[in-house]
Amino acid sequence: MSEVLVLAEHTADGEVKKVTVELLTAARRLGSPSVVWAGPGAEAGRERLAEFGAERVYVADSADFGDYAVAPAAELLAQLVSEKTPAAVLVAGTTEGKEIAGRLAVKTGSGVLTDATGLSAADDGTPVAEQPNFGGAITVTSRVVRGTPIIAVRPNAISPEPASGAAEITQVSFAASDAAKAARVTEHVVAEKGARPDLTEAQIVVSGGRGTGSAEGFKVIESLADALGAAVGASRAVTDAGWYPHQFQVGQTGKTVSPQLYMAVGISGAIQHRAGMQTSKTIIAVNKDPEAPIFEIADFGIVGDLFTVVPQLLEEIGKHKSL
Amino acid sequence: MSMNIVVCVKQVPDTAVERTLRPGDGTLDRESPDGLINELDEYAIEEGLRIAEAQGGEVTILSMGPEKASESVRKALSMGADKAVHVLDAALAGSDALATSLVLAEVLKRTGFDLVILGSESTDARTGVLPAMLAERLGVPQLTLASKVDISGTEVTIRRMTDDGYAVVTGALPAVVSVVEKINEPRYPSFKGIMAAKKKPVETLSLADLPVDADAVGLAGSATAVADFAARPPREAGTVVKDEGDGGAKVAAFLAERKFI
């Protein structure tokens, strides 16, 4: 079976990000998955990769991946594409993953598909990607017609399915070229996010909008998110007003999320916001305005004041937990 | 130093109206009346103008697209850019990101540049790959997803937005920079700016003016192809109820029924 390269997203101590096991699940539909592990931690991450069907793990433990942005990872993948001639290369559809995919596409003269939410093999074995376009208003089926198919898969779109693999580690000799060392990372600042899950990987997202009225008012969104073990999102009105940090914005110009449950609180649901969340499995909306467009896509909606509805909901969740 | 700044601008369909693809070939109808400048590109223009104002230099707008794209070019000029290059050729229609980056890179080699600035993604295809592709093709530092840009001599330092915060990334000019919307507040064109824009030079280039093989661009030359597309089935209308003092309890009941709590 032909090899499929999967670029792992992981921490330095070997914790494998959830999107990586999603990529492995998708890769198995196309061939035999080989993980590409850039940087340290592969020994610690190996077991997890094996649980999701990785047959091989190519490890390039170089400091260049941390010291320089994007280009070294693309160079490593290009080297492996040339050595292994894989059937496809899968990367996480994060902003950085897509940039790596873009550079790899240029290096290998290959087509790149981004934001895939579904992946299957055509009769000839080549990958067919499903991509939601225009914020999920239409679904496009696309193929790569030149080079090695490079596909960036949207996090949280594919359900991880375990399968056992050998996950045999092979050390790869790699040194980034001078050209790949042109953008030097001098500092990494991690924003305070506490114990909440990542916005794009969370099973539940609780988002607040203009209706929260202020940074103070927005705190009720955080309380609700914490009660549900959810990530916090915000509409653009909120991040523009400075009530909540920009990186939590959901929508056309912010993050795109597809959780199992999306709660839109005090959000009217303008098309720009819906573009970032309408592929969520279940949507609940709370808004004062019965005409708010968010109700058109909500599975369940309450027309009411969020400052009375949410505290009551918190109390009910509390009761439920103590049952 | 006098900087040669090129800002790439794309005309896209208005995100506030329903958008779809053409049934025949799955491409976007770029002649549709609701086209406007890609929102993030306005932040790129603003950043280019601010850098030119602070450092001295000229801002050139570069756009590839049909005749209609000249509207976005004019808007960019009315914001204060000095001149523009419009790549206009029917053979380019349907180009994917790989093909588009090939054309833009060749134009940039022709115009020369100290700094290329782009919005980090477009609101239509949202691939977010073009800035990285340009940096790769031009062999210059990729300083992308910037929420802050500082230039000191020939060094550019940015705050690169990451999933968990930001990274500080540095590279030497010439460089490719992409911006996120947090970076600035784009100016509105003034009346004077709008009048002045009418007299600013716009050079129109066709494929014949560039060392690009026609087989490598357009719908046929692209490395990706749309096989099919379909409107997503509309979400079924759910239950919407008015809060009668038990709204929170009703939401809790719904959450419990769906096993979220």
Residue A41: pLDDT over 90: yes
pLDDT per position as a tens digit, A196-252: 898 988 999 999 999 999 999 999 999 999 999 999 999 999 999 999 998 899 998
Chain A partners within 8 Å of B17 (Cβ): 271
Q: Please, are residues A170 and A215 in contact by the beta-carbon 8 Å criterion?
A: no
Q: What is the pLDDT of residues B135-153, one digit of tens each?
A: 999 999 999 999 999 999 9
Distance, CA of A268 to chain centre: 25
Closest CA to A266 of A295, A245, A240: A295
**Chain B residue with minimal CA distance to A189?**
B166
Share of chain B above pLDDT 70, in %: 98
Q: Do A286 and B247 touch (CB under 8 A)?
A: yes
Which residues of chain A have a CB within 8 Å of the CB of B152? none
Inform me whether the pLDDT recorded for B124 exceeds 90.
no
pLDDT band at B231 (very low <50, low <70, confident <90, very high): confident
Q: What is the pLDDT of residue A246?
A: 86
What average pLDDT does range B195-209 have in this prediction? 97
Helix (H, G, I), strand (E, B) or coil at B200: coil
Q: Which percentage of chain A shows pLDDT scores above 70?
A: 99
pLDDT of B33 reads 62
Residue A320: band (very low, low, confident or very high) from pLDDT cuts 50, 70, 90: confident
The model's confidence at residue B163, banded by pLDDT at 50, 70 and 90, is: confident
pTM as predicted: 0.88
B93 Cβ contact list (under 8 Å, min separation 6): B27, B30, B66, B218, B219
Which tokens belong to B166?
A: 């930001």
Q: What gap in Å lies between CA B156 and CA B134, rounded to an integer?
A: 17
Structure-model confidence comparison of residues A258 and B103, the more confident one: B103
Residue B65, token pair as written in the block? 């697209």
Residue A254 vs residue B44, higher pLDDT: B44
Q: Which helix (H) or strand (E) holds A319?
A: helix A306-321
DSSP state of A94: S
Per-residue confidence (pLDDT) for residue B227, from 0 to 100: 87
Give B83's strand partners. Answer: B60
Distance separating alpha carbons of residues A12 and A16, to the nearest angstrom: 10
Q: In this predicted structure, what is the pLDDT of residue B26?
A: 82
Q: Extract the tokens encoding B155.
A: 């060094």
Give the pair of three-digit tokens for residue A174: 């790699």
Q: Tens digit of pLDDT for each residue in B79-99?
A: 999 999 999 999 999 999 999
Q: Contact at 8 Å (CB) between A84 and A5?
A: yes
d(CA B75, CA B86) in angstroms, rounded, equals 13
Contact predicate A52/A165, CB 8 Å: yes
Which range has the worst mean pLDDT, A147-151, A252-256, B40-44, B233-237? B233-237
ipTM for the complex?
0.91
B1: confidence class by pLDDT, cuts 50, 70, 90: low
Contacts of A270 in chain B (CB under 8 A): 16
Report the C-alpha gap between A320 and A323 in whole angstroms.
5
Q: What is the pLDDT of residue B32?
A: 65
Of B175, B181, B183, give the one whose Cα is nearest residue B159.
B183
Query: Which chain A residues contact residue B173 at CB under 8 A?
Result: none
Residue of chain B whose Cα is closest to the Cα of A290: B242
Q: What is the pLDDT of residues B181-197, one digit of tens each?
A: 889 999 999 999 999 99
A304 touches chain B (CB under 8 A): yes
In this predicted structure, the answer to whether residue A122 has a pLDDT above a threshold of 80 is yes
Residue A32 has pLDDT above 80, yes or no: yes
Contact A91, A97 (CB under 8 A): yes
Question: Residue A85: enclosing H or E segment and its boundaries?
Answer: none
CB contact under 8 A, A314 and B248: yes
**Separation CA A264–CA A297 (nearest Å):** 11
Provide the pLDDT confidence category of residue A111 given band limits of 50, 70 and 90: very high
Query: What three-state secondary structure class fits B229?
Result: strand
Q: Tell me the HSE value of B42 on the side-chain side, using a 13 A CA sphere.
A: 19
pLDDT tens readout for residues A291-316? 999 999 999 999 999 999 999 999 99
Which residues from B are below 8 Å from A95, CB to CB?
A: 120, 128, 145, 161, 163
Strands A56-60 and A168-171 turn out to be: parallel
CA distance A10 to chain B (A): 13
> What would you measure as the largest C-alpha separation in chain A, in angstroms?
62
Choose the mutation target among A77, A95, A321 for the interface with B, i.e. most B CBs under 10 Å.
Answer: A95
Task: Give the C-alpha separation, A118 to A65, whole Å.
Answer: 29
